[in-house]
Structure 1
């Protein structure tokens, strides 16, 4: 949580697969934040509240529900936030973000390493990327600079007590894991000079795809930076710096 003046940004812990869901921590936290003078709360949720394998065009009004503990925990938190906005006089924004792609120098200290860093580390250390999912698996990728652009627009709005705003926040197009792995390989090859092989299970041939509708956030924030190559270059720097500290051979 980042707290500055009357603003609180919640980037919550949610349970890992197989773990016990946490007790309700949102209700007491919102009460304490309101007592401290907070008026604006931004909650980072996930697009996976639309399902483990979402299909079709996903708007903020699309049906939600998931058997995945990660998404289910986010849905529970969203519901609590919605119920308590009026009671505590809060202006709450819920951001359902897609897969965030961007630099993170502390990636090795995370309980779960972001998959872009994981794939880049494979390319650097092993000269190959091994995908666990079929190459035609659909993914929406959110460049970190675009998230910053959109978040600024959300925070710049005048405060409206009791308002609940939900935004899909993602990149402009849906890609595939195969295409993303090939892009990572190209970025690593260009900087390090060695070829990177991409390996994967057979294509499924019937992968369902989706389109994350971001019209609502685009109408508020306008067009923002969308440059995955730049983000991957920063990720490569993270991995290379960590590689140098550990002294692991290439």
Structure 2
């Protein structure tokens, strides 16, 4: 049994994918990145890691890479992730997230790739009737983003039952922060992640931060989310891969800390770290946003032995701020040269 298969990371030049590549490298797994660079950037891929530029819709190109590098496992991050955009452009999300995933799964089955880890989302739960949300909670997505991911989960379960594909489904809650060593961060220019937007506003890179919806049925009227540091999430992917390779069986886990923070609480944490008020505007609700998403995270601890190392909200803010500050300085230096 190959304990360290070659891992093909789709979307490995993006935010979460690039952190997973670092975690895989640190754990001794050989890695290949496949990315069309539509939102990811080339510099996010570490030196020495092959970057194949291509689209996963091109299944023959994917097959060539799997054969050429003798890939034994897939970590699938490639896809579209903006909830509000999915409401406006649902067919884009079914194409990028569902149809393209189907082609990738078919290619893995055809070529004998044994292990498949899928980047799913808490959006599959929709508006839960009870909290905290465990993995057996009903899945009733309220937006095409969540629906497109849930459809891929179903395809993976069926492919596993029919073809023996080992599957790990990781349902992320809100991902934040950056690599504490400064090796990676969130590079997407139009990112909608709250902590990234807040630290950009703190640095003057945005004129203000908008609070989308102040009339939710929550203690302060703003949405509540369960945040997870991106490096802890990346470590969870490595543990999930080891679980599959070690014949631990298929896996479905929430990736979160099991506690929620409101939008206003997050903004207060940013203000505490920077030592001054943020420019904040109240705005109408965004389409497709549930009032609260807070996880029960017992399963990931019990099955994988996962022990978060970066669990404080302040550390998420501090690492995101350090990354944005460094990125802004590098951008300024490039313009001056």
Tell me by how many angstroms 1:90 deviates: 1.1
Tell me by how many angstroms 1:144 deviates: 1.8
**Residue of 121, 131, 134 corresponding to 2:211:** 131
**Residue of 308, 312, 321 corresponding to 1:224:** 308
**Residue of 124, 129, 142 corresponding to 2:228:** 142
Is 2:240 the partner of 1:154? yes
State the match for 1:39 in structure 2: 114
152-161 or 4-13, which deviates more: 152-161
Is 2:195 the partner of 1:116? yes
1:199–1:212 distance in 2 versus 1, CA, 3 Å: same
State the match for 2:166 in structure 1: 91
**Residue of 267, 271, 285 corresponding to 1:181:** 267
Q: What is the aligned residue count? A: 240
Tell me by how many angstroms 1:52 deviates: 4.7
Q: Which runs of 4+ in 1 moved over 6 A?
A: none
Is 2:101 the partner of 1:101? no
**Residue of 2, 9, 12 corresponding to 1:2:** 9
**Residue of 263, 268, 277 corresponding to 1:196:** 277
Tell me by how many angstroms 1:128 deviates: 5.9
**TM-score normalized with structure 1 length:** 0.82
| Alpha-carbon separation, structure 2, partners of 1:124 and 1:145 | 23
Is 2:306 the partner of 1:213? no
**TM-score normalized with structure 2 length:** 0.62
Tell me by how many angstroms 1:156 deviates: 1.7
Higher relative contact order (CA 8 A, sep 6+): 1
| Alpha-carbon separation, structure 2, partners of 1:160 and 1:243 | 43
Unaligned runs of 5+ in 2: 1-7, 11-30, 32-70, 215-219
Unaligned runs of 5+ in 1: 190-194
Tell me by how many angstroms 1:216 deviates: 0.5
| Alpha-carbon separation, structure 2, partners of 1:14 and 1:79 | 18
Residue-by-residue CA offset, 1:13-46 (whole Å, 9 max, x unaligned): 1373221131622333222223434211100100
State the match for 2:45 in structure 1: none
The 8 Å contact of residues 197 and 209 in structure 2, kept in 1 or not, is answered as no
Alignment partner of 2:117: what SS?
A: strand
Q: For the aligned residues, what is the CA RMSD?
A: 3.1
